[in-house]
Amino acid sequence: MNGIIVVNKEKGITSRDVVNKLCHIFNTKKIGHTGTLDPMATGVLVVALGSSLKIVEYITSYDKEYVAKVRLGIKTDTGDITGNTVESDDKVITNEEIDKVLSEFPQDYDMEVPIYSAVKVNGKKLYEYARNNIPVELPHHLVKVYSLKRISNIEDNCFYIKCHVSKGTYIRALIEDICKNLGTVGTMEELNRTKQGKFSIEESYTIDEIEKGNYKLLKNIDVLDLPQVEIDNELLLKKVMNGNKLEDIYNYPEFMFIYNNDILAIYKQDNGLIKPVKVFNSNIENMDNNI
């Protein structure tokens, strides 16, 4: 089985748990997700099966949208409500102050990676340093915050935000920095990923729905937004299937060769030629009947 399925992950399970459940449902080990959600988080988890694993890196790079609940007045060691409180503050914050900070928040943002993350430093994951109380200098990386908006009033010292961000943005860290700009501390109490690229929560499926057969499996061609070139002769088909370098007559930095209404290969420019990046020979069916 090949394709992409958009899962609506429930709270309390890991992304790996979702993959394990789908392995059982679809009776395959060729499966993987395209962007981890913490156990406390819910929402869009895009999962690839079979040959679609080859496009995971493209999907992982997509922008993401989240709705998060912010709790003011406490800071935890994990950056979310599941951690231990390490700092508290009773400063009163208004909706107007929040809106001002959000409107002025930089779009290009040098984020400090949370210590409770899987990013590696000197070959060891950061959370391993944290769990063993080993000091480590936290890395930074540049992320983009395309939009940031408060979507509820403060109630019981909590409010909700909606944010559209680039790959690699940790919402826990974003919330801590928002609260720092407010002159207080805060932590993430809830997180729901509502979009990843073109995939939205409205078009996602729970594990229960998938078990009952109520889901849509997307083809690779439905997922990637690259220029398309239709293969219309057998010679070109065989060359692309064999992963040959070809003369560049297409003038696209990167594009997809299409056959049987799906992606046969992804090619990119290479010193005046084009070369294959990914080849999907499992998409070939009824070759003699189509060309």
CA distance 267 to 252: 9
Reduced to 3 states (helix: H, G, I; strand: E, B; else coil), residue 26 is: helix
pLDDT in tens, 182-217: 999 999 999 999 999 999 999 999 999 999 999 999
pLDDT in tens, 32-65: 999 899 999 999 999 999 989 999 999 999 999 9
Of all residues in the chain, the percent with pLDDT exceeding 90 is 89
Reduced to 3 states (helix: H, G, I; strand: E, B; else coil), residue 96 is: helix
208, 232: one domain = no
206, 95: one domain = no
Domains held by the chain: number: 3
Given a cut of 50, whether residue 247 has pLDDT beyond it is yes
Q: In whole numbers, what is the pLDDT of the chain averaged over residues? A: 93
Q: Which residues contact 205 (CB under 8 A, 6 or more apart)?
A: 5, 6, 7, 8, 214, 215, 216
- How many CB atoms lie under 10 A from the CB of residue 170? 21
Q: Considering 187, 221, 255, which residue would you say is the last residue of a domain?
A: 221
Find residue 273's DSSP bridge partners.
Answer: 247, 270
pLDDT band at 283 (very low <50, low <70, confident <90, very high): low
21, 110: one domain = no
167, 128: one domain = yes
Cα distances (Å, whole numbers) of residue 160 to 114, 191, 214? 21, 10, 31
Q: Which residues contact 262 (CB under 8 A, 6 or more apart)?
A: 219, 220, 221, 280, 283
User: Which segment of 101-115, 127-141, 274-288 scores lowest on mean pLDDT?
Assistant: 274-288
Q: Among the ranges 127-136, 148-157, 232-241, which has the highest mean pLDDT value?
A: 148-157
243, 209: one domain = no
Q: Which residues contact 5 (CB under 8 A, 6 or more apart)?
A: 22, 46, 47, 49, 205, 210, 215, 216, 217, 218
Q: Which of 18, 92, 11, 75 is nearest to 49 (CA)?
A: 18
159, 268: one domain = no
Q: What is the dihedral of CA 43, 44, 48, 54, to 10 degrees?
A: -130
Domain of 48, CATH number, reads: 3.30.2350.10
CA distance 89 to 60: 37
pLDDT at 286: 44
pLDDT at 205: 98
Distance from the first to the final alpha carbon of the chain: 24
266, 215: one domain = no
pLDDT at 289: 45
- At 282, give phi and psi (nearest 5°): -70, -10
Given a cut of 50, whether residue 5 has pLDDT beyond it is yes
89, 100: one domain = yes
Of all residues in the chain, the percent with pLDDT exceeding 70 is 97
147, 74: one domain = yes
What is the number of alpha carbons within 13 Å of residue 94 lying toward its C-beta?
3
70, 51: one domain = no
Q: Which of 227, 241, 252 is nearest to 276 (CA)?
A: 241
What integer is the mean pLDDT of 119-137?
A: 91
10, 29: one domain = yes
pLDDT in tens, 174-187: 999 999 999 999 99
Is the overall model pTM greater than 0.85, yes or no?
A: yes
Q: Which helix (H) or strand (E) element contains residue 241?
A: helix 234-241
Strands 124-125 and 140-150: unpaired
**Catalytic residue annotation:** 38
Q: Residues 108-129, buried b or exposed e (16+ Cβ, 10 A)?
A: ebebebbbbbeeeeeeeebeeb
90, 174: one domain = yes
Domain interval for residue 207: 3-61+200-221
